[in-house]
Structures are given as C-alpha cells and as structure tokens.
Structure 1
C-alpha cells in the first residue's frame, strides 16, 4: 500500500470514528474524505474480496440484504452497505469499516447506484453482477430506461470476465449483446396464455423490429415470458426458475425455486423477485438449499422496506416509493392487507427523490378509493401535489388530511381511526420521518 493510500485509510477511519461517536451518523462522508486524498483508494480496499454487485432500478437494497443473509450461512465475513449509501463515497466508507481475519474467504455484496457503477468498477473487479430490473425512475437523474441500461452495461464492461446474472423476465436485459457472460433468473409458475402489457408500460417494443411484444405470462409491468410475434426475439432460457408461487400475503410469501421450497417475511410480487434474485446468487456460488432457506427466513426488516414501527397503539408499515412501477406493486401488496387501514403518503422532491413528481400520476392511486381506508394523510414538501392526486383518484375530501411538516404528521398518525397504518414515502421523506421518530424514541437511530 502506498503512503498516500495509508494516509487516506487512516483519515477515513478516524473521521468515521468521530462521526459515529459524537454525531451518531455519517455513512458517506468518511469515504468522500478518503477519496479526496486518494481517488484510487478502492483499488486497495477491495483487493482481497470476492465482490458481488447488485444494481438496477428497484429492489437493490432488499436483494442485497437477502443475499448477505444467505451468504453469511456459508461465509463468516460478508461486507455490505446496508444503509443504502450506494454511490462511490458510500462504497469506500463500507470498506473502511470492514473487519476480517487474514487468510479467510471474504465476500463483499454491494448495492451500487446505476449511474455510479462505472466509477466504482474502474477500481474494483467484481466477480458477479446482479441486474434486478430497469424501470422509468427519476428522469432528471437517469433519463430513459435504455440510457440507464447503457450505464450499467458500461460499468460491467470494466470487469469483462464477471458474469452478469440478470432478470430474464425483463426484455431490456436481452436487448443488446454484452462482453460479459450472462445467466438468467425468472418466473415459470403459470401455464402459457396470450397477453399484452398495459398500454402505459415502458420497454415493451421488440429491440430487433420495434413490434409490440406479446407475453405468454406477465408477472407485473413489462416482466414475464415475452416474445415478439414478428421476429425471433423472445425470453432466453432461464438458469434459475421460480416454478410455483404457493402463497402470498401482505407480509409474507412462499414459493418453489428449482424444486426447493422457500419463504420470505415480506409481501408482494416484487419482493418475491428480490428473493429469487438472491437465491440465484446463492445457487451460482453453490450454497445449499438449507442455507438459502435459513438466509431468506431471517426476519430483519430493511430500512423503509415494509419496516414495521409502533407509534403508540398504531402499527405502522413504512414503505419507500420512488417510481410508478414500484408504487403500483406496493399498492397491490396493500390490497392484500386486512381492512380497514389508514394511509399516509409523504412526497418530497429533493435531488435524491427526483425533482420531477409527475410520476405520481402514473401510479394506480385509484385502487385506494376501492379499499376501506377511512383516513388519508398527505404530507411532505409536495403535499399539495399528492393531495390533488388523491382527490382525482376518488378519495373523498372529508377523508383527506393535508399536513406539510413531519412532526405534525406523526402527531396526527396517533389520532388515526385504525390500528394498522401504511406509510408510503419518498427517500428523503423516509429519512426525515425516521429521524423524527428516533428523536421521539420510537426507533433507534435515524438511519
């Protein structure tokens, strides 16, 4: 290690200790400081690790957590970034706090932001890339879905020998050739039929001939067993298959993958995909079904991913939402929950959320009007936009309460008429809410 790298590590670790000891936080700043001193610091920090990278629009955080839980059944030392600090400085901070013994096998399972991937892979050489999906998300940051896909493919090119393990049900992952070898996971749980995706769905044109894709089975959005009726473009053969969805509720799911039964303690089809992705990684590394089951069953809710928080007598389920496809999956999941229930929707438009909030109009808020929801609270910086969206969706004005600031939202949650409450929030709204809940001692820490 060069003197410059040694100095960067020392300063980075010292700042990490200071921030944790005195300010109770700071997940990315130590990495930012270390990078200023040595821009190539990742090259040194990651050199002894088997690196697995998880990237894509939705599902990165939970897929990463599930993968880590499974691999920990097999390997003692697994480094990860659980707070979602998934840009370059966050990855550096993750390695700065890593501990391990000399000579042991060390894994790093890293959630990495799509736009940051190529910056990170300049200095580390992952052995495996996991691509979850590509949906329209924060247009001001990522652009169209094909722009986002190019970002992650370019990032993977920096490690050409690494395998890309991708969602075979997503047509975009089969749209262009890659330098990297590819494997696919997906759903094969229904008999073939004949379907076309909803008209308001992105990514459903054949990349070869631009004809509208057809499906023999659709799970949600543009995911499923696709084919082009006008040319030979179709879903590739799957290496890892979910063949049966035996049970799904608002808080759990059970399924069969490659003849083995598994379960998770979160609800929704989108989370079954996350579990399938994590299982595919485990099978790629030869982890036994017993250990995969133990890892998936580990019931520790991840930051903002159906995280249950008790606020006095209210059982509040906090869910991060950030784009129309993810929102619609959350709405479908809430539809499985016992009713009546109350709803809170917190909308911010900071840089980390995406400043364009027009995506809320593509979410199926109309479904809420069909549920037994006696009270809806809308809050956050763009509460006015969300209030209008709810009214247009059919939520009666006498059921709708508009509150801007988070402390007042929490006060009102305590007065809601039902015990069960679902809180949907954009990223910075989740941070603000959790910070205030930590200040009031409803949870530990703000992250």
Structure 2
C-alpha cells in the first residue's frame, strides 16, 4: 500500500468517525474524501475481496440485504453498503469502514451498485458475479431508455467474461445480448401456460432478434414472465432457480416455494419475491444448501431503510415505502390494494437529482385502481406537491378526502392525526431521507440519514 493510499484511508476513516459520532450520518462523504486524495483507492481497498455486484432498476437495496442474510449461512464477515449509497464514493466508503482492511485473507463484498456506476467500479475491482434484477424506465434524465441503461451495465460486464451472470430470466432484456459469461437464470414458474399479451403501455416488448412484439405463456408484472416471440425462436431461457409455488400474499408478507423449499418472507409484494429469489440464487451459486437459504430468508429481520419500513408514530403504524418509477409504484399500489383493513395513504414527491427531475412518471402509475372506499384520507406533500396533488385529483380522489401539506414538518404532524391506525407513506428517495431525518429528530427512529 502506497503512502498516498494509506493517507487517503486514514483521513476517510477519521471523517467517518466524526460524522457518525457527531452528525449521526455520513455514508458517502468519507468515500469522496478518499477518492480526492487517491482516485485509484478502490483498487487498493478491493484487492482482497471476492466481489458480488448487484444492479438493476428496482430492488437493489433489498436484494443486497437479503443476499447478505442468505450468505451469512456460510460466511461470518460480509462487506456491504446497507444504506443504499451505491455510487462510486458510497462503495469506496463501504470499504473504508470495513474493519478488516489490510489483512491478506480473501473476504466477500456484496455491493449494491447504481447502473451507471457498474462500468466505473469495474475499472478498479474484479467481480466474481453480476446480479441483474430488472430494467425499467427510471430517471430518464440520467439513464435514458432501458436499452441505453443495459449498455452501461454491459460495458462493465464485458471486462470480465469469466464472471458469472445471475440474471432475472423473466426479463427479456437480459437474454437479448450474447455474452460468453457463465449464466444462472432465476424466475417464476408456478403457473400453467396460457398465451397472453402484456399491457399495451409496457416497455421492452420487442423481440431483440426480429423486432416482433413478444407474447407470454405466463406474466408476473410489466414485461416479466415466460415470454416468447411468435415470429422467431426467441424465448425465455431455461430457469436454473425458480419460484414453483406461490402460497399466500399480504401487504406485510409472502409465502412461496423456491425449488421446493418454502420461504416465509416478512415483507409484502410480488416484486420482493423476485428480490428474495435473486438472493437465493446467489446463495446457491456459493454452494449454500437450499433449505438453509430458505430458513435465512424466512428470518423475521428484514427491515431495510425506506423499504416497507414500519414506524410507530404515537398510536399510528406508518409503513414507509420508497417509490421512484412507474413500474415500482404500480407494484406498491398492487401490494397495498390487498390490505383487508382501512388505511390512509400519503404520497410525498420530490424531484431532486437523486429522485429524477422529471415527475411525469407519476402519470403512468394506476392510482385510478386504488380501493377509494377503504381509504378515508389521502395526503400529498413534498417539494412537488402540486404535481402529485393534481395527479390524485385526476385519479378520482374526492376533494373532501385530500389533505395537502407542502412542508414535511406539517406532513409529520398530519400523519399523527390521520383517521386510521395504519398509514402507507409512499415517498421518493430524497423525501424518504428528509422524512426519516425529521422522525429521528423527534425520537421516533434512530439514525435518520443512515
């Protein structure tokens, strides 16, 4: 290790200690400091690690958390970036704060990675496996269309043809480019075949071989399912790991089987079953027994910052859910629709760089299909409260049920006065950060910005 690298690590560690001791946060700033002192520091930090890169549009943070949980069935120490700080500086920060830097024994790093940052970090570390969750339209100002985003990811993957790709086999885009890498595909395979079409406004439905519209033998949501092209031989690859039974779903949990092993996942939503399936696939790649993986994923300790995080707010039970694109938002709406009790709904919309500055995506989510009779109160807020308020009015939310709170401090006060015990709060990324900071300051949670 060079003097420059040693100085960068020592300085960044000191910054991390100060921020966490006195400022109650700081996940990416130590990484920024280290990079400013040594731009190649990631290569030094990562040299003794086997690296798993997890990327895709939706589900990266929970997939990473579940993967770490699954791999702990075999490994005692796993480096990861649990806060979701998934760009280069955040990943450097995760290595900086690991307590085992400098020892020679190989260790394991499971890294949530922003799609556009995959080729950037691949300049400095060598992944053992790439985990690909899904690709949907998201932050068009940053990523462009899904094919543009996939090319960013492929730029990193192509550097390491020996790395295994563990991909969502139900996503046509992950089967659209021939790559020499070893591959494992996971997906859903519990339904009888029945030829059908995806909804008309779904992205990614053109066959990459002949540009014909894809059809499906089974469909989970959006463009995910057992796809085939009726015009050529393009179709879903054979699944190596699959959900072969879906037993029960509620807004708080899902019970299903992966290759015959029952998983009781303590978080709701079909999209989260995919996250668990990806984690299970990684565990099998690392030769962990399926029953041990199912037991690990069934453990009732799956709280992840902003991802169906349940917060006690006086006598209210608030479920905080991050939303950031139309497919993810639609799946959250589908999940809460299954609640058999009355609930209130708050939607907090920001449009900062980390959220995506274009808010037009809220118009592609199907608010119109919400069970309005079971929702006595709706609240809108955030920096773009006018946009989300207008969207709710167009969706059919009655004026007498709609409460508008631009300032998040006022929104927190209003949450305490909602007419139902259970409240769902759907919020974009920076709104989640702001809300958690306020709740931490008021003593309802610990951390806030972590």
Question: How far apart, in 2, do the equivalents of 1:68 and 1:389 lie?
Answer: 38
Secondary structure of 1:401's aligned partner: strand
Deviations 1:22-66 (A, max 9, x none): 212110011111111111111111111111110000010000000
Q: Which position in structure 2 is the counterpart of 1:429?
A: 431
Moved more, 427-436 or 330-339: 330-339
Distance, in Å, in 2 between the alignment partners of 1:371 and 1:181 is: 51
Tell me, yes or no, if the aligned pair for 2:348 and 2:425 is still in contact at 8 Å: yes
Say whether the 8 Å CA contact 2:372–2:397 is kept in structure 1.
no
TM-score calculated relative to the size of structure 1: 0.98
Partners of 1:352 and 1:37 lie apart in 2 by 25
Are residues 1:170 and 2:171 paired? Answer: yes
Q: Which residue of 2 aligns with 1:204?
A: 205
Task: Assess if the C-alpha contact under 8 Å between 2:321 and 2:427 holds in 1.
Answer: yes
| Counterpart secondary structure, 1:130 | strand
1:377, 1:400 within 8 Å by CA — same for their partners in 2?
yes
TM (normalized to structure 2)?
Answer: 0.97
Deviation at 1:435, TM superposition (A): 0.2
Could you tell me which residue of structure 2 aligns to residue 18 of structure 1?
18
- Going from structure 1 to structure 2, the CA distance change for 1:371 and 1:123 (only over 3 Å counts) comes to farther
C-alpha deviation, 1:100, in angstroms: 3.2
Deviates more, 1:8-17 or 1:390-399: 8-17
Partner of 2:119: 118
Distance 1:294 1:238 in 2: 22
How far residue 99 of structure 1 moved from its aligned partner, in angstroms, is 1.9
Which residue pairs with 2:323 in the alignment? Answer: 321
In structure 2, the gaps of 5 or more residues are none
What do residues 224-253 of structure 1 show as CA deviations (whole Å, max 9, x unaligned)? 000000111100111111111111111111
Q: Distance in 2 between matches of 1:371 and 1:6?
A: 61
Residue of structure 1 equivalent to 2:366: 364
Which residue pairs with 1:441 in the alignment? 443
Secondary structure at the counterpart of residue 127 of structure 1: strand
Secondary structure of 1:25's counterpart equals coil
Q: State the alpha-carbon separation in 1 of the partners of residues 79 and 298 from structure 2.
A: 20
The match for 1:193 is 194
Query: Structure 1 pair 371/154, CA: closer, same or farther in 2 (3 Å)?
Result: farther
Mean Cα displacement is larger for which, 320-329 or 172-181?
172-181
CA distance in 2, matches of 1:436, 1:297: 31
Distance in 1 separating the partners of 2:276 and 2:59: 10
What are the superposed Cα offsets for residues 133-181 of structure 1, whole Å, 9 maximum, x if unpaired?
0000000010000000101111112222111110000000011112433
Q: CA separation in 2, counterparts of 1:266 and 1:27?
A: 25
Equivalent residues of 2:280, 2:294 under 8 A apart: no
Q: State the Cα RMSD in Å.
A: 1.2
Q: Which residues of structure 1 form unaligned runs of 5+?
A: none
Tell me, yes or no, if the aligned pair for 1:339 and 1:371 is still in contact at 8 Å: no
Cα separation, 2, equivalents of 1:424 and 1:348: 11
How many matched pairs?
Answer: 447
CA distance in 2, matches of 1:234, 1:335: 32
The residue that corresponds to 2:74 in the other structure is 74
Q: Within 5 Å, which residues of 2 pair with 1:162-311?
A: 162-298=163-299, 299-311=301-313
The aligned residue for residue 413 of structure 2 is: 411
Decide whether the 8 Å contact of 1:73 with 1:294 is kept in 2: no
Work out the CA distance in 2 between the residues paired with 1:68 and 1:82: 9
Note the C-alpha offset of 1:369.
4.9
Structure 1 residue ranges, 4+ long, deviating more than 4 angstroms after superposition: 101-105
Partner of 1:402: 404
| Residues 1:159 and 2:160 are matched in the alignment | yes
Aligned mates of 1:335, 1:371 — CA distance in 2: 11
- In the aligned structure 2, how far is the partner of 1:66 from the partner of 1:191? 29
* C-alpha separation in 2, matches of 1:248 and 1:227: 28
Asked if the contact 1:129/1:163 (under 8 Å) is kept, the reply is yes
CA distance in 1, matches of 2:371, 2:385: 18
Task: State the partner residue of 1:46.
Answer: 46
Deviation readout 1:63-93 (Å, 9 max, x if unpaired) = 0000001111211110100000000000000
* C-alpha distance in structure 1 between counterparts of 2:100 and 2:168, whole Å: 32
On the 8 A contact 2:354/2:429 being kept in 1, the answer is: yes
CA deviation map 1:242-283 (0-9, x unaligned): 111111111111111112111210011000000000000001
Q: Which residue of 1 aligns with 2:89?
A: 89
